[in-house]
Amino acid sequence: MVERTLIIIKPDGVQRHIVGEIIGRFEKKGLKLVAAKFVQLSEKQVGQVYAVHREKPFFKPMVKFLSSSPVLLMVWEAEGVINMTRKMMGATFGLYAEPGSIRGDFSCSERYNLIHGSDSPESAQQEIKLFFAPNEIIDYKLTNSPWLYVKSASPKK
């Protein structure tokens, strides 16, 4: 089933000039970009995205950090996109992320982790609604989708 996920390239990704590298990885994987905005988030908006962490000690510093500089908000679409993007991002902190993942290749921090991705279809739906109106998400067909989304490895006879 085709699903959508919200991906946020955080201030450290923007400030380190690796936005294009991150987008390129998702494009090379074959994911479809259906919406994007470059914005400065307010503390209130960050608090809405991370509301489940409100009582944790890292919440206030995280809100301050994520509202300190512009971020790139994106909606990506594909079958299984949430699991794929989470694997591509790697473990939460770069210090522990496997090489080859975004965080494993570009982060060695236990605080700043470059990127956010929705963790479930339900959270993706809620997060996308926070930042994108339905008319801002573009529905289109990728011309190369027959080569990207084949489920069977064996040819039909």
CATH of the domain at 24: 3.30.70.141
Domain limits at 125?
A: 2-140
- Domain count for the chain, please give it: 1
Residue of 7, 114, 116, 127 marked catalytic: 116
Question: In this prediction, what percent of the chain has a pLDDT beyond 90?
Answer: 83
CA separation for the pair 11, 107 (Å, rounded): 13
Cα separation of 13 and 113, whole Å?
8
Q: Are 104 and 90 in contact (CB under 8 A)?
A: yes
Domain assignment of residue 146, yes or no: no
- The answer to whether 17 is a known catalytic residue is no
Report if residue 151 sits inside a domain.
Answer: no
> Does any domain span residue 147?
no
Amino acid 148: pLDDT: 80
Q: What residues contact 51, with CB distance under 8 A and at least 6 apart?
A: none
- Asked, for residue 152, whether it belongs to a domain, the answer is no
**Rounded Cα distance, 49 and 11, in Å:** 15
- Say if residue 22's pLDDT is above 80: yes
Q: Mean pLDDT, the chain, as a whole number?
A: 93
Calculate mean pLDDT across residues 25-45. 97
Mean pLDDT for 140-144 is 91
Give the residue among 41, 40, 23 at the shortest CA–CA distance from 32. 23
153 within some domain: no
Domain assignment of residue 154, yes or no? no
Q: Is residue 50 part of a domain?
A: yes
Q: Quote the pLDDT of residue 126.
A: 95
Residue 150 lies in a domain: no
